[in-house]
A and B are shown apart, each in its own frame.
Chain A
Amino acid sequence: EVHLLESGGGVLQPGESLRLSCVASGFAFSNYAMSWVRQAPGKGLEWVAHISSGGGSTYYADSVKGRVSISRNNFGDTLNFEIYSLRAEDTATYYCAVFSVGFDHWGQGIPVIVSS
């Protein structure tokens, strides 16, 4: 069974940095591209970052480009996401998701609150 477990969220102040992790199990992690999707409170889904199966290609939403970095460790079956210079509008639940035909598996999500 596919399992994705996010960690690293919490309450942070504007300007701080954050590192989220997603540990994968139950599938061949290194064979699949992965993404991060976020959802602000009461709002819709927003795709924010994507990384190819081998890690050589990355893509970012314009809303976060230049402030975030996605990476992966295929030996440890872990997906990472760093957000720098946090803003109030980064407040959201962040999901890691497996990409194949769309996102067919999602983690439970990890809340990030940016507040002074």
Chain B
Amino acid sequence: DIQMTQSPSSLSASAGDRVTITCRASQDIGNYLAWYQQKPGKVPELLIFAASTLQTGVPSRFSGSGSGTDFTLTIASLQPEDVATYYCQKYDSAPYTFGQGTKLEIK
């Protein structure tokens, strides 16, 4: 099965900083990559699908890129409400594996 590896596992940044989270698939998954945001105590929400397409309603400071095996999630200017754990997930075929998550905090 394809493994999904995120880095870093945790990250602390200041408001206004540019933040990048990476996700690597152990095999080519094309652009079948989704990113989720899970705020503390809340249900996960889809941020980005097809590696780079923003879900409706997601602020434009979020962006995604990559294809094949290497992907990134970027927050252009970190806001306090972005404190959350972020997960990548492959959805080309089952198993629909998630990355281990990246916990993002504000300094």
> Could you tell me which A residues sit within 8 Å of B by CB distance?
35, 37, 44-47, 50, 59, 61-62, 95, 99, 101-104, 106-109
Contacts and interface: CB of A to CB of B under 8 A. Distances in A.
Contacts of A104: 46, 49, 55
Nearest to B49: A101
Contact of A102 (B85, B89, B101): B89
Contacts, number: 60
A59 B53 CA distance: 26
A109 B99 CA distance: 20
Give me the 8 closest cross-chain CB pairs, A-B, nearest first. A102-B34, A59-B94, A101-B49, A44-B101, A47-B96, A45-B98, A102-B49, A104-B46
Q: Classify chain B's interface size.
A: 20 to 34
Which of A45, A101, A102, A103 lies at the interface centre, i.e. has the most chain B CB atoms within 10 A of its CB? A102
A50 B95 CA distance: 9
A50 B43 contact: no
Contacts of B91: 99, 101-103
B81 interface: no
| Interface core residue of B46, B85, B87 (most chain A CB under 10 Å) | B46
B95 A45 contact: no
